[in-house]
Structure 1
Amino acid sequence: MLKNRYFLLILSMVLFFSVFWFTQNLEYLKFPKNTELVLFMNGSLYGYASIKSLCLMLVFPYLIFLLLFSKKERIVSLVREKNRIQAHHKIVKSTIIATVLYVGIYLSVNLIFSFLFLGNKLLTATNFYSGILFYLLLLFLFYLTIGFLFRIIYDITASIGQALIFGAFAMCLFYLIDWIILEGLYWTPLHTLNFFDLWLQNGPMISEIPYVLIPNVATALILYLLSSNIFIKKDFYSYEK
């Protein structure tokens, strides 16, 4: 029964991302097939891989996927855990697996349809394959950070609904502050999300990888530690499940 639920959940995400891919790229499919088309379809400003899509359109589906993928927590089971850190590690493990699946499905859909409509020659010429491997790691860290933020809000509010709403709202607010108020002039973690676009334009940027990954790893680590601390100290008996 559990395997069937996971299968249906993964299948639903494949269908969701497939529809999303076509809605974002339908107009581009009429363009001549060249390297510029690859850049248009994978640009950071518009389309399937845009920063706007990642921050505004795909955060809430990720949180829903994370929620449905994770096992329902029961107070009795959590209280019986001899070590709350171990209980938190189980939650983190589930979050990591769900994030890998979500990002993996998202990029697999892009890879498959890009291969079908653009062809191997164009993808190879733009270093698409090597870029998408690095992009997998980058997006994993990005959404893992959001997953930890969701957990923090949930442990503070004891409400799944509030955690979903405030988690998605926080990312929308962060995006709006970054691009409208700060006008993209000052560095924020969101700026690293355009690295796939730059990779396709300029070729492999191996020397820049540490500068892109380290801030994202640091952000995820900070939220993980904060989430762990809040989880360990929270009063389970005051929570309604």
Structure 2
Amino acid sequence: MNYNIKKYVTSALIIIILFSILWYMQNDKAFISSIRGNILLFMNGSLQGYSSQKVLVILTLFFLLFMNVHAIKESPSYLTRKADRTKIFNDRFINIFFSSILFVTSYQIVNILFTFIFLGNEIMSTTNFYLITLLNAIALIFFYCWVGLLNKLIEDWSNSRNITVVTTFVVVVISYYLETAFWVPIKDMRVYEGLLSGEWDLTDVCFVYIRQLGLVIVFYILGKMIFYDKDFIIYEK
């Protein structure tokens, strides 16, 4: 699999700019100065702030676009020339995984940088903000990774590239607004809130990892099965 480093760097710089704008929109100076109490919790809660679940849902759309920019162009002629479908699928998975790492790393770098500028190192160190950011990043990488796999699964199943990004985004949005007693994946994305509030410990974070990684494995297996049965002639049409 060939990597276009210049393309990755350029796209990373673009999303860093977008994340910077988003951070300032969520945490401008007036808002920060008005907060009393656990300021980092307010800035990174699940209901409001830069790391809120609503923001993460919206960013799903940006991630899918970001991921597809770097995806291998799986034209029918390319696919039919390749005898080893396993390698093609694994190359696709590597792109999804690497894209999620780059996307989440850029997202978290912006959070750390601007939090440091506005609040300083002391409060970030005393609250273990750096460690919590790392733990949150791992959860987000798993989350966006299975979202990317789901997107490609829908693409292969529907034999269409045109509706898959919107369909995947709608699925994630519905899961966010779904009021149910059952677990939904997006509800796990509150590592910041759980650890900064003291409600969670590392055991809770590990359970988040297990559930999100489980989804990665499930969608990897399902996606691989559908990809192997994919009719490239129909796909070409």
- Structure 1: gaps of 5 or more residues: none
**Aligned counterparts of 1:219 and 1:15: Cα–Cα separation in 2:** 30
Q: 1:30 aligns with which of 28, 33, 36?
A: 33
Task: Report how many aligned residue pairs link the two structures.
Answer: 234
Structure 1 residue 35 displacement after superposition: 5.8
- 5 Å-filtered alignment, 1:130-141, equals 130-141=131-142
Q: Which residue of 2 aligns with 1:39?
A: 41
Q: Deviations over 1:55-103 (max 9, x none)?
A: 2x11100000001121222222221222211110010011111110001
CA distance in 2, matches of 1:7, 1:189: 30
Inter-partner Cα distance in structure 2 for 1:114 and 1:175: 27
Superimposed CA distance per residue, residues 7-40 of structure 1 (whole angstroms, 9 cap, x where no aligned partner):
22111111110111111112423336x7611111
Cross-structure match for 2:188? 192
Percent sequence identity is: 29
* TM-score normalised by L of structure 2: 0.92
Which of 207, 217, 228 is equivalent to 1:211? Answer: 207
Q: What is the match of residue 96 of structure 1?
A: 97
Aligned partner of 1:119 in structure 2 is: 120
Report the counterpart of residue 55 of structure 2 in structure 1: 53
Alignment match, 1:110: 111
Choose 37-46 or 76-85, whichever is displaced more. Answer: 76-85
- Separation in structure 1 between the aligned mates of residue 144 and residue 79 of structure 2, nearest angstrom: 25
Kept after mapping to 2: 8 A contact 1:141/1:216: yes
Measure how far apart 1:125 and its partner are. 1.7
RMSD (Å), alpha carbons: 1.9
Task: Give yes or no for contact 1:28–1:37 (8 Å, CA) kept in 2.
Answer: no
Say whether the 8 Å CA contact 2:191–2:205 is kept in structure 1: no
Query: Please, which runs of 5 or more residues in structure 2 have no aligned partner?
Result: none
User: Would you say the 8 A contact 2:175–2:184 is kept in 1?
Assistant: no
